[in-house]
Chains A and B, each alone.
Chain A
């Protein structure tokens, strides 16, 4: 059986995070799939989905680490076309992950005690955003 759904949200932009773990659990319950896999994909190119502990210190550390990898005010060839100026967000997206695969075992996501599914949007401005969830199994 294959089931899919989406989660839409209004990102504030900047370094916007959203914990979607419980929403995905709700979707899993609706799917009535007990065992299989769940795929969670962020449908944009300026953000990621990740599994981390939802702790503000980790988020701040991540923000600082990403600032070193792709600085917000860095120079990006992407900006030459003069359309948008979010090169840092695209590079961070490319080096991180747009999707996750999570085992579904006995009616639940097989997440560890401290693991949460967090969406991180790095687009500088507020936007409507969407993640897609597909669950396959029986």
Chain B
């Protein structure tokens, strides 16, 4: 196995919730929305993440799909309010920072970068090392994202370790030639580092 030289975290689903979950939580009655509308919402969310839609237009679309009574500004505040930071995960990531300068991929709108920086006060380095997907000129959030993230790092994919809560992209990362881990929780994240001898085992492990 080639030595790992770069670690990449897809933030959504690991450090913060997926954008689609924050939006769904901001829509009362989301569970009763027609499945085809949910699919449309999912596609619009992906378009926003890829910079193909403006945040303002996206919020109006969410209001229309959810038949919401609030305005775009209030909806945005609602969505931001559902961003909860997984501090247990940040602690594990911080342990690796002595060895690596991790790269973070964020599919939230880059317009929220200041808000995220405030949400992650003890981890400002995350925002400093974050690439926002809406600024990457992506064709998709899978293979194209992998290529446009890994190539500029200057390492062959086999030297990169990709963490992702989305199984399909983790599988794509493997196919691309990188090492990949499906994120489950902080305990198992640490276990993956221990298995790769990046972190020492804890006493009880």
Residue of B nearest to A60 (CB): B171
Interface size for A (C-beta < 8 A) is: 20
Q: In the docked arrangement, what's the CA distance between A19 and B175, Å?
A: 21
Contact flags B133-170 to A (C-beta < 8 A → 1, else 0): 00000000000000000000000000000000001101
The verdict on B14 contacting chain A, using a C-beta distance below 8 Å, is no
The verdict on A10 contacting chain B, using a C-beta distance below 8 Å, is yes
The verdict on A63 contacting chain B, using a C-beta distance below 8 Å, is yes
CB atoms of B184 and A56 under 8 A apart:
no
Q: Which of B38, B168, B173 has the most CB of A within 10 A?
A: B168
The verdict on A136 contacting chain B, using a C-beta distance below 8 Å, is no
The verdict on B115 contacting chain A, using a C-beta distance below 8 Å, is no
CB atoms of B184 and A116 under 8 A apart:
yes
CB atoms of A56 and B170 under 8 A apart:
yes
Q: Residue B174 contacts which of A19, A56, A126 (CB distance < 8 angstroms)? A: A56
| Contact residues of B between 1 and 53, Cβ < 8 Å to A | 35, 38-39
Contact flags A13-43 to B (C-beta < 8 A → 1, else 0): 0111111001000000000000000000000
The verdict on B182 contacting chain A, using a C-beta distance below 8 Å, is yes
CB atoms of A54 and B35 under 8 A apart:
no
Q: In the docked arrangement, what's the CA distance between A85 and B189, Å?
A: 39
Chain B residues with Cβ below 8 Å from A1 are none
Q: Residue B39 contacts which of A17, A18, A55, A126 (CB distance < 8 angstroms)? A: A126
CB atoms of A128 and B35 under 8 A apart:
yes
Task: Name the distance in Å between B36's Cβ and chain A's nearest Cβ.
Answer: 9
CB atoms of B174 and A54 under 8 A apart:
no
Q: Residue A56 contacts which of B35, B39, B167 (CB distance < 8 angstroms)? A: B167
Q: Residue A59 contacts which of B39, B167, B184, B185 (CB distance < 8 angstroms)? A: B167
The verdict on A57 contacting chain B, using a C-beta distance below 8 Å, is yes
Chain B residues with Cβ below 8 Å from A18 are 167
Q: Residue A57 contacts which of B168, B174, B184, B185 (CB distance < 8 angstroms)? A: B174
Given A17-B167, A56-B170, A63-B171; A10-B182 close (CB under 8 Å):
no
Task: Name the distance in Å between B196's Cβ and chain A's nearest Cβ.
Answer: 13
Q: In the docked arrangement, what's the CA distance between A10 and B41, Å?
A: 13
**A to B CB contacts below 8 Å, 26 in the list:** A10-B35, A10-B38, A12-B168, A14-B168, A15-B168, A16-B168, A17-B167, A18-B167, A19-B182, A22-B185, A55-B181, A55-B182, A56-B167, A56-B173, A56-B174, A56-B182, A57-B174, A57-B180, A59-B171, A59-B182, A60-B174, A63-B171, A116-B184, A126-B39, A127-B35, A128-B35
The 10 A-B pairs with the shortest beta carbon distances in the complex, nearest first, are A56-B170, A17-B167, A56-B180, A56-B171, A60-B171, A56-B174, A54-B182, A56-B182, A59-B171, A128-B35
